[in-house]
Structures are given as structure tokens and as C-alpha cells.
Amino acid sequence: MLSRAWSGPDISYCYAIDPVSLEKLDLDIEYNISPQVILNTRGCIQSKAIKQLAPLFDYISEMDAQREEQRIIESAMLQHNVTSIDDDCSDELFETIAQGLADMYLRRPTKHSKKLI
């Protein structure tokens, strides 16, 4: 109700906060900007944020890949009833591991952040 009766500017006061330090930033912000202009430029701001977070996404993806590799190896060891990998292990064990890793890397993108940008 109150917002429909408002006759002042679209934005009466605005400030920004640094997401890392949580401190208020002193920026020149244009107050009399229409909401449509804000919506039209929002994608640009989001893409900049995604680019800055890309190394984090890639790190998480790499950690996920390492966990998946370990799961594939442990699964193959269990399947072939092996408790440790050494020179006495069968070729079938190594073929199972190689096939599992090949399948994983063929279906998995190398960089998740590239999909976001």
C-alpha cells in the first residue's frame, strides 16, 4: 500500500558493502536511476562476480575430481578383492581403474566456471 502511494524518487538512498570486509563503501551511486536500468545492467554485474569466483569454482571442481578418482580406485579394489595396490595386482584391476577414470574424465567438463561465464 505505502509503496504504491510513494511519489519520491525511485531510489531515495543507496550504499554498497564490500562482501569480503563487510565495510560500507563510499561510492558515487546515481540515485535517480530507474529500476529498469538497474535490471538491465544486473547481468553485467553478475558476470563480473562469476569471473572473480571462477578460481574458487575450479578449485572445488578439482577437489571433487580427486574424490571421484579415489572412489573409483577404492571401488575397483573392492571389486577385485584387493587391499593395497602393488606390483602383484592383476592387469584386470588396472584395466578396471583405467576404464573408470576414462569414463569419469570423458563425461566431466574440465572447468566448471567456463560453463557459468
Q: What is the pLDDT of residue 48?
A: 74
- Quick one: cell of 98? 583405467
pLDDT along the chain (117 residues), means of 10: 62 66 71 64 68 81 91 94 91 94 81 53
Judge whether 111 and 58 are in contact, CB under 8 Å: yes
Judge whether 112 and 57 are in contact, CB under 8 Å: yes
Q: What is the pLDDT of residue 20?
A: 76
Q: What is the pLDDT of residue 23?
A: 82
Q: What is the pLDDT of residue 32?
A: 61
- Non-local (6+) Cβ contacts of 20 within 8 A are none
The sign of the CA dihedral 81, 87, 93, 98 is: positive
* Helices of type H across 1-117: 2-5, 35-79, 91-107, 112-116
